[in-house]
Structure 1
Amino acid sequence: MLVRIVKMGFHDAHIDTFLEHFNVYKDKIRHFEGCKFLELYRDKNNPTIFFTYSYWESENHLEQYRQSSLFTSVWNKTKVLFNKKPEAWSVDKLETLE
């Protein structure tokens, strides 16, 4: 399983717009083939910083999403709201403790 973490910073004036877009697309992203989990986080100390955290069956599934019209639509509406370049990590989950 691949875990994808994306850190995004937004201009204060665009945060509500980002949250509206996320609410429109979150179910479509979550139900895209290969996506098993999706969460959105907000930094406690800097409310302009957000993170998405998603689980993908494989790197190939994530890449199919990144090449899809859904991703293009989401990304085109999101990238214009950034106040800095986003950062992304693909990591392998090694262990879960509950």
Structure 2
Amino acid sequence: MIVRIVRMTFKPENTEEFLEIFRSSKEKIRAFEGCKHVELLQDVNTPNVYSTYSLWESEAHLNEYRNSELFGQVWPITKKLFADKPQAWSYTSVEI
């Protein structure tokens, strides 16, 4: 299982537009093969900072999504709304 976190800082005046993009695409992302979960988080102290938290069956599934037509539609319009470069991390669980 892959945990993917993408932190995005938006221009404050663009947050509503981003939220509309997310609302209209979240179910399509959730339905993508290999996606087990996706949710949107908002920073407690900086309201124009959001993160997506998603769970993927494998890195291959995540990469298939990142190379998909859906991602190709959503990411370019989202990028135009940023105030800063996004940050992304991928994690796996560690069995201890």
Question: Structures share a fold, TM > 0.5?
Answer: yes
How far off is 1:94 after superposition?
A: 3.2
Does 2:78 correspond to 1:78? yes
SS of equivalent to 2:85: coil
Other-structure match for 2:62: 62
CA distance in 2: counterparts of 1:31 and 1:88, whole angstroms? 21
What code does the residue aligned with 1:66 have?
Answer: R
Q: Structure 1 regions of 5+ residues with no counterpart? A: none
Other-structure match for 2:93: 93
How far off is 1:86 after superposition?
A: 0.1
Other-structure match for 1:32: 32
Q: Give per-residue Cα distances to partners, 1:14-71, cap 9 Å, x unaligned.
A: 0000000000000000110000001100001000100000000000000000000100
Q: Could you state the TM-score of these two structures normalised by the residue count of structure 2?
A: 0.96
CA-based RMSD of the aligned residues comes to 0.8
Other-structure match for 2:44: 44
How far off is 1:93 after superposition?
A: 2.4
What code does the residue aligned with 1:65 have?
Answer: Y
What code does the residue aligned with 1:85 have?
Answer: K
SS of equivalent to 1:81: coil
Moved over 4 A (4+): none
How far off is 1:87 after superposition?
A: 0.2
What code does the residue aligned with 2:62 have?
Answer: L
